Amino acid sequence: MWSITSTRKSDNLLRMQARVIGALILRETRVTFGKAQMGYLWAVFEPVLGTAALTAIFSIVTRHPPLGTSFALFFATGVLTFQIYQRLSTSLMAVFEANRGLMAYPLVKELDVVFARFLLIVATYLFVFVVFFGGLIMFDLADYPARLDQVLLALLATALIGLGAGLINAVIMLLWPTWKHLHGIISRPLFFISGVFFIPSAFPPNIRYILSWNPLMHCIDWFRSGYYHSYDSPTLDIGYLLMYTLVLLLIAFGSERVYRKYQK
């Protein structure tokens, strides 16, 4: 009898928490996209148009992409994957400050606002991927993914790294607001060393070894290995990537928990 009662209480708590997060997602959507003329559609088309512009520029500068025959496909696999991490790590940085007023409500917890923003960003970029890659396939600029499960796992790993980095950034910013400006400067080189514009196998072994410490490079390489039919990366280390993701999430949630206890 006790176990049945406790199970029902747990189910009710989970349903209540799911409703809270759902309401927070709707609020995030209105606050983030409500003021723009195109609203949510602009959040989808902005990265699409940005990737298309980069593709046009590099197709003029370089005659052949480093992998395959489609510039649009190669750069999309790099740029859009990197943007998931970048958007999460920067947007989650200010999540506590932006939702400080909601913390007065007993039902709203700190991690609820984190997960609400995380889910909204991930859902938006999944829509972006469907629109962009669907368009490439429609115009015969890309094939269907060779291994869709590997593509989705690579995106999941990227999103979780973005979640961990964003939560750590949020805690640091609560302690030291200047971190917001420093983070933008420190993280800028990541765009150029994460494999967005190159494949790691094009470099000598000593350079590949240095680059292999960057988990985002493995995320992009994993995505391309899953998408391209003939690409098998010698640098990709999924074990290292998963271990890094797990440790990062443990540090992120642990630091948030310690800060919350310290505040109380």
Tens of pLDDT along 37-82? 566 677 777 777 877 787 777 777 776 788 888 888 998 899 999 9
pLDDT over threshold 50, residue 163: yes
In a domain, 155, yes or no: yes
In a domain, 198, yes or no: yes
In a domain, 213, yes or no: yes
Cα-based distances in Å from 9 to 15, 22, 112, 194, 249: 10, 20, 19, 46, 28
| Concatenated DSSP letters of 24-52 | HHHHHHHHHHTTSSSTHHHHHHHHHHHHH
Tens of pLDDT along 196-227? 989 998 899 999 999 999 999 999 999 999 99
Query: Cα–Cα distance between 194 and 187 in angstroms, integer?
Result: 11
CA 7 to chain centre: 34
In a domain, 246, yes or no: yes
In this structure, are residues 121 and 89 in contact, taking their beta carbons and an 8 Å threshold? no
In a domain, 17, yes or no: no
Total domain count, the chain? 1
In a domain, 20, yes or no: no
Q: What pLDDT sits at residue 1?
A: 47
Range of the domain at 236: 41-105+126-263
What's the rounded mean pLDDT across residues 219-238? Answer: 93
Indicate the length of the chain as a whole number.
264
In this structure, are residues 235 and 221 in contact, taking their beta carbons and an 8 Å threshold? yes
- The model carries a pTM of 0.90
pLDDT over threshold 90, residue 184: no
Query: Cα–Cα distance between 46 and 53 in angstroms, integer?
Result: 11
pLDDT over threshold 80, residue 130: yes
In a domain, 224, yes or no: yes
Buried b (16+ CB within 10 A) or exposed e, 160-186: bbbbbbbbbbbbbbbeeeebeeebeee
**Residue whose pair of structure tokens reads 């400067």 in the numeric block:** 185
Q: What angle do CA 79, 81, 32 make, to 5 degrees?
A: 95
Q: Count the Cβ atoms, other than its own, within 10 Å of residue 76.
A: 27
In a domain, 138, yes or no: yes
